[in-house]
């Protein structure tokens, strides 16, 4: 059985340590733990790992955030993985820093990456892990905040929260989305 895990972000060094790239960061940490690496493929960096008898295809789209649907659609078709076995990792300013919230459907909440995925797939029914980045910015400064790097205080807690996100991702193919939501949404 194969599962598709897509971490949203933007390619390029200028985005590497930004809040908006938490999807990339979570997958980078998961791949490092697994002892494998990403390969540069069409529309994304791709790695394959095994976890408890399940094959996970990990993708960091290189289509830039606003065109994430193109990579999601491409890899769902290429790998023949249905939407029910796909999970999107994304940043969320509506959640406190480090919060992990898993849902199997819902709106984009104005997130351009999720909006493009919904538009491309024609549905908002897909699994997503929202990683809270907080909203500690002044009015009109959202873009700078989201594309800004983590503060020193955030960096102190980031590894622990990324580890929680990785646990939730690895739970998804083993326990299913409902049990994963029940277990991780309140941690």
Task: Report whether 101 contacts 129 (CB < 8 A).
Answer: yes
Q: Supply the CATH number for residue 47's domain.
A: 3.40.50.1470
CB contact at 8 A, 29 and 170 = no
Q: How many domains does the chain have?
A: 1
Per-residue pLDDT tens over the stretch 18-46? 999 999 999 999 999 999 999 999 999 99
Cβ pair 103, 143 in contact under 8 A: no
Global pTM reads 0.96
- Residue 111 appears among annotated catalytic residues: no
Residues in CB range of 175: below 8 A, 6 or more apart: 183
Helices (H), 81-137: 112-121
User: Among 19, 20, 128, 161, which one carries the catalytic annotation?
Assistant: 20
Alpha helices in 60-133 (DSSP H): 68-79, 112-121
| CA 156/CA 96 separation, integer angstroms | 15
| Cβ proximity of 129 and 100 under 8 Å | yes
How many CB atoms are located within 10 Å of the residue 82 CB?
11
- Residue 82: the pLDDT is 97
Task: List, in order, residues 6 or more apart from 151 with CB less than 8 Å away.
Answer: none
Tens-digit pLDDT string for the chain (187 aa)? 899 999 999 999 999 999 999 999 999 999 999 999 999 999 999 999 999 999 999 999 999 999 999 999 999 999 999 999 999 999 999 999 999 999 999 999 889 999 999 999 999 999 999 999 999 888 888 999 999 999 999 999 999 999 999 999 999 999 999 999 999 997 7
**Structural domain boundaries enclosing 135:** 2-184
Distances (CA, A) of 58 to 18, 21, 48, 85, 114: 20, 15, 6, 12, 17
């Amino acid at each position: 059985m194969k599962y598709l895990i897509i971490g949203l972000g933007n390619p390029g060094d200028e985005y590497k340590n930004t809040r908006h790239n938490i999807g990339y960061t979570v997958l980078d940490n998961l791949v490092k733990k697994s002892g494998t690496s990403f390969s540069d493929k069409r529309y994304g960096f791709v790695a394959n790992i095994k976890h408890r008898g399940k094959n996970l295809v990990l993708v960091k789209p290189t289509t830039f955030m606003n065109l994430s649907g193109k990579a999601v659609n491409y890899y769902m078709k290429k790998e023949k993985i249905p939407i029910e076995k796909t999970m999107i990792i994304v940043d969320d300013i509506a959640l406190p820093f480090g919060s992990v919230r898993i849902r199997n459907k819902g709106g984009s909440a104005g997130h351009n990456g999720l909006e493009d995925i919904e538009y491309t797939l024609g549905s908002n029914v897909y699994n997503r892990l929202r990683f809270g980045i907080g909203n500690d910015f002044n009015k009109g400064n959202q873009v700078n905040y989201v594309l800004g790097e983590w503060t020193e205080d955030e960096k102190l807690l980031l590894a622990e929260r990324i580890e929680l996100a990785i646990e939730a991702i690895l739970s998804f193919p083993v326990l299913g989305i409902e049990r994963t939501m029940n277990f991780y949404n309140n941690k």
